Structure 1
Amino acid sequence: MKGRGAGSEAGGADPAASAPRPGLPARQVAARLLAAVVEAKTSLDGLTDPSHGHPQFRRLEPRDQGLVRAILQTALRFRGSLDQEIAARIERPLPPNASALRHVLHVGAAQILYLDIPDSAAVDLAVASAAADPRTARFKNLVNAVLRRIAREAASGTAAADPLVDCPAWLRERLEAQYGVERAGAIAAVHRRPAPVDITVKSDPAGWAERLGGRVIAGGSVRLERLEAPVPELGGFADGEWWVQDVAAALPARLVAAAPGERVADLCAAPGGKTAQLALTGANVTALDLSASRMKRLSENLSRLGLEAETVVGDLSAFSPSEPFDAVLLDAPCSSTGTIRRHPDVAYTKDAAEIDKLAGVQARLLGEAARLVKRGGRLVFSNCSLDRAEGEAVVEAFLSDHPEFRRLPVLPEEITDFGFAISAAGDLRTTPDMLAGEAGKAGGLDGFYAARLIRDQ
């Protein structure tokens, strides 16, 4: 959060093409990419990829690229709060067609309230950004007045008392319906905070926590709250001693309970964190993914880690192994609402219709995965969605249609320190508000769902 200091849409002129005042292109690009996220539902990771992202973003210097990412993540985390701060300082609501203006105001207000940037620079560059765009030029005085009032009147780090204000309406409705208002609010509060980096280590979690300045958390993961260097430069990374993986994302592979020599399939496997966990057990792992580029990344990760797995690029529906597997893990594509604290754009790039669509995809993939499981074998279904339409409902429908399968409930002793996340039915359900952490320490985890099934016939 910031201490007190003294939109554009996807089209239009290239703000980085000329040489305007320092810092202006970064603010213009931030407003443009904010529009691309909330209006065109474009992935923030894709827009800000250093190699393949938006061309105007890629033209910025690395330092300005980092600033743009920080502005966008903050503006998305506190979108509702920013709306309230702006609305309190204008006489009439912004008209629906003033989206470009709204993005400029959000970029400026996010810097004033939440980032360590001098207020004067945030205001002046927002005014310059508005003046440079024909759609917003006539509002430059309004931008100046509103942002100066926010800088003068708003408390440092201002956020709405109700964290659900920062959820878009569709997400708030679903969280409240499924978890209740109080629990939904606790989840939304965690969405406001950046997530720490968790790693899975091959061995000796305590030793690696000491070496990297982290701490061992539930399940044996190591949490790095402050990075002293980029991840690839940290000790042990190049030597393949660990990989980045949220503590919740490490749970589904543990439910497989793979044993040395067992034949195990990891479906929708890339980027490979779960594949690495399974390979580390000594199982004979086959990793399947539809994307050749993602599978290449998986193979590179396994090579760095010194682990082996058979890799197959292809569609699950066309996958026909010579014999069924002892165990199958399907970490299915989903809305990713469990990762909003890491990817705040998800709240704006997904919606209720997308969840219903993805639930249908998951049901189809689970049916395909079932045919790969031998009699007596295990099938683990998981994803990083908070929505029960993509989790519990998919599994219940599958069990109703596949009497040859039944639940194999998760037991507390299998996932040490996570007994609180086991449902009455024996499934696993984590939410971001769990693992609150010690005072002064980063808490929370990704939202995940996992169910384990066994084939009786």
Structure 2
Amino acid sequence: MVVTPPRRGHSAYPQRNAGDEIAGLAARKAAARLLAAVIDARTPLDGLTDNEHGHPQYKALDSRDRALVRAILVTALRHRMTIAGLLSKRLEKPLPPNATALSHILHVAAAQILFLDVPDSAAVDLAVTHAKSDPRTLRFSGLVNGVLRSLARAKETELAPALAATREAPQWFSERLTAAYGADKARAVLAAHRHEAPVDFTVKADPAAWAERLGGIVLPTGTVRVEKLAANVADLPGFTDGAWWVQDAAASLPARLFGDIRGQRVADLCAAPGGKTAQLILAGAQVTAIDASKNRLARLKQNLDRLGLTADLVLTDLLDYRPAHLFDAVLLDAPCSSTGTVRRHPDVPWTKTMADVEKLADLQCRLLAHAVGLVRSGGRIVFSNCSLDPIEGEELCRAFLAGKPGVAADPIRTGEFAGVDPFLTSDGTLRTTPADLALESPGISGLDGFFAARMRRTD
């Protein structure tokens, strides 16, 4: 997908300004620095590009340069393997292991040349200037110039074949997808990751009317989907009135799995940012929302306030939580590897490892065991997360149910919920992937990768 940064007249063009500083260079330096933080230090991109608490080089830029930096980074990560292959073809020998700074300069420039609306000459010239400004890469400035100019000349003939032949993922992630879903489905998931995700809205009422107002469609699940927004989310109709909230269609499914919960006491564990909390409230439940992060809980309250909804908010580590009375139902949307959100967060495969997946699965199992103890006998538990890995989903639940007396599977039945049947497994659990929900075009298709299972306490 082509991401469009600012056009002519902006700092994408290497011009001297009044301070004799090359316009656009600071943005490219920031992009390379942040790419290094993601790849070399496995730092999540969202934190680096946070407007209040992000990386100092990022925060020093104006809003347009920040948008350009984020476009470069998302593109460089989304197409990292293709970029690496096309650059490698132009090197007589591989870059030395300690030449990471040079690699990041080349990737930042290549992302612009191959995928962004930036003139090739601007991308090349700024990369050469960047290389000359860094003692680590000064002696490679000629190589930078030659490699990138060759890439620019050949992109019309080489890019499409390279995309067709390349799996856009680190080896560990590609192997896990293949093991879990088979080669064909894994390829489809990785292909979906190349496209920016559409924007989904959960609406309080009348999805058809809101689809028309927002310029979108209504999915079979009732979610309103818009391929591309015409304005910032906060400027859209209905935002101030609290008529809807942004929530991927897959993320909206777990809270629906309880069925009729009117008048019931329901706990939303690990609740922030509050989309599922809002769903439970609108379904008529008396909701207690629990989160271990003060900042995330504050954000949840802000979101509920905008929506005109209220819940009991509890700041605590879930494993320390002991309510005075057991709940009728609990929802545990557990912390996970987030591998189901790569369309939105292309840094995830590069900042996580298989060891992280296994560690998080262990945490999820402990949280689930605690969650079961918070619900009354006969009450329901819904466990969910946004991981694609069965270790955090199907396999975890099978092992948990086999080893945990007093709790039993409560399979989701065919026809029980509108739009859910295509995502049901043979075990009666729910599984979505970015390759599911194929619609008219890739930009409007797909879902976040999600897993959900329903259980019932029996003792």
Would you call these one fold, judging by a TM-score over 0.5?
yes
Q: Does 1:133 align with 2:140?
A: no
Cα displacement string for residues 153-182 of structure 1 (whole angstroms, at most 9, x for unaligned residues): 112864734576210011011111111111
Q: Structure 1 residues 18-27 or 250-259, which shifts more?
A: 18-27
- Who is 2:57 aligned against? 56
> What TM-score results when the alignment is normalised by the length of structure 1?
0.95
Q: Does 1:277 align with 2:282?
A: no
Stretches of structure 2 lacking an aligned partner (at least 5 in a row): 9-18
Structure 1 segment 55-454 matched on structure 2, within 5 A = 55-155=56-156, 158=160, 160-162=162-164, 165-439=167-441, 442-454=444-456
Give the Å deviation of 1:91.
1.1
Tell me how far apart the structure 2 counterparts of residues 208 and 54 of structure 1 sit (CA, whole Å).
37
**Which amino acid counterpart does residue 84 of structure 1 have in structure 2?**
G
Give the Å deviation of 1:102.
0.6
Give the Å deviation of 1:2.
4.8
**Which amino acid counterpart does residue 49 of structure 1 have in structure 2?**
D
SS at match of 1:91: coil
Identity percentage over the alignment? 57
Cα displacement string for residues 335-370 of structure 1 (whole angstroms, at most 9, x for unaligned residues): 000000100010111010000100110011001101
Tell me how far apart the structure 1 counterparts of residues 51 and 119 of structure 2 sit (CA, whole Å).
27
Tell me how far apart the structure 2 counterparts of residues 209 and 425 of structure 1 sit (CA, whole Å).
34
Distance change >3 Å, CA 347–CA 163, structure 1 → 2: farther
Tell me how far apart the structure 1 counterparts of residues 105 and 32 of structure 2 sit (CA, whole Å).
6
Tell me how far apart the structure 2 counterparts of residues 166 and 440 of structure 1 sit (CA, whole Å).
16
SS at match of 1:326: strand
Stretches of structure 1 lacking an aligned partner (at least 5 in a row): 7-17
What is the RMSD computed on CA atoms of the aligned residues? 1.8
Distance change >3 Å, CA 98–CA 125, structure 1 → 2: same
Q: Structure 1 residues 105-114 or 387-396, which shifts more?
A: 387-396
Tell me how far apart the structure 1 counterparts of residues 90 and 165 of structure 2 sit (CA, whole Å).
21
**Which amino acid counterpart does residue 36 of structure 2 have in structure 1?**
A
Distance change >3 Å, CA 3–CA 392, structure 1 → 2: closer
Question: Is contact 2:226–2:444 with CA below 8 Å preserved after alignment?
Answer: no
Question: Is contact 2:27–2:68 with CA below 8 Å preserved after alignment?
Answer: yes
**Which amino acid counterpart does residue 95 of structure 2 have in structure 1?**
L
Distance change >3 Å, CA 300–CA 2, structure 1 → 2: closer
SS at match of 1:249: coil
Question: Is contact 1:256–1:328 with CA below 8 Å preserved after alignment?
Answer: no
**Which amino acid counterpart does residue 374 of structure 1 have in structure 2?**
R
SS at match of 1:378: strand
Tell me how far apart the structure 2 counterparts of residues 283 and 66 of structure 1 sit (CA, whole Å).
40
Tell me how far apart the structure 2 counterparts of residues 442 and 120 of structure 1 sit (CA, whole Å).
33
Question: Is contact 1:164–1:172 with CA below 8 Å preserved after alignment?
Answer: no
Tell me how far apart the structure 2 counterparts of residues 415 and 315 of structure 1 sit (CA, whole Å).
32
Question: Is contact 1:407–1:453 with CA below 8 Å preserved after alignment?
Answer: yes
Tell me how far apart the structure 2 counterparts of residues 159 and 94 of structure 1 sit (CA, whole Å).
24
- Who is 2:458 aligned against? 456
**Which amino acid counterpart does residue 205 of structure 2 have in structure 1?**
S
Question: Is contact 2:257–2:382 with CA below 8 Å preserved after alignment?
Answer: yes
Give the Å deviation of 1:414.
2.7
Distance change >3 Å, CA 3–CA 154, structure 1 → 2: farther
Give the Å deviation of 1:418.
2.6
